[in-house]
Amino acid sequence: MSSNIILGIDPGTATTGYGVIDSSPSRGEGRVGVMKSIEFGCIRTSKDNSLPERLEEIYNDLQKLIKKYQPDKIAVESVYFYNNVKTAIAVAQARGVVLLCARQNKTPVLEFTPLQVKNNLTNYGKAEKKQVQQMVKTLLNLKSIPKPDDAADALALAICGANKNL
């Protein structure tokens, strides 16, 4: 069985979560057979830095992750409805950096809304964050729920990427 490396990204200007998984195809239709976590964590930027500096830091760290793991695809959270416009703009700017990195590395991008992630992992679009995190733990056979939340969210996106054929 060949492996399939997926990089999940939960974008944000202050904290960008990432999760790298390896998935092996199953013999039948539908979902992947075996998934395992390779690495997860967060890219954190300082609020003392200017926005361009913060975006550059995200860019540089993402480039390092892409070069290190050479993912077959990148799964990223898509911008959806936000009550706070400032938050939406910050997420959109970080997403732009992710999309640029993917394009420069000729890596296909899959986009998922939070509703799609919840539905994909729990079969319930209104699942609580804790339910999604528990499924990440279970599906990746981890000893505990990944921390911080941004990294768990990125792993959930990577799982969605593994479950979706390009």
150 labeled part of a ligand binding site: yes
Q: Which of 22, 72, 77, 153 is catalytic?
A: 77
Q: Which of 10, 22, 57, 61 is catalytic?
A: 10
Annotated catalytic residue 10? yes
Q: Which of 22, 57, 72, 150 is catalytic?
A: 150
Annotated catalytic residue 149? no
- Alpha-carbon gap, residue 88 to 74, rounded angstroms: 21
- Alpha-carbon gap, residue 156 to 75, rounded angstroms: 9
149 labeled part of a ligand binding site: no
39 labeled part of a ligand binding site: no
Buried b (16+ CB within 10 A) or exposed e, 100-128: ebbeeeebebbbbebebbbbbbbeeeebe
Helices (H), 30-128: 51-69, 85-104, 114-122
Annotated catalytic residue 150? yes
Inter-CA distances, 151 with 16, 30, 137, 154, Å = 8, 25, 12, 5
Give the residue from 108, 115, 121 showing the smallest Cα distance to 163: 121
Catalytic residues: 10, 77, 150
Binding-site residues for Mg(2+), please? 10, 77, 150
Binding residues: 10, 77, 150
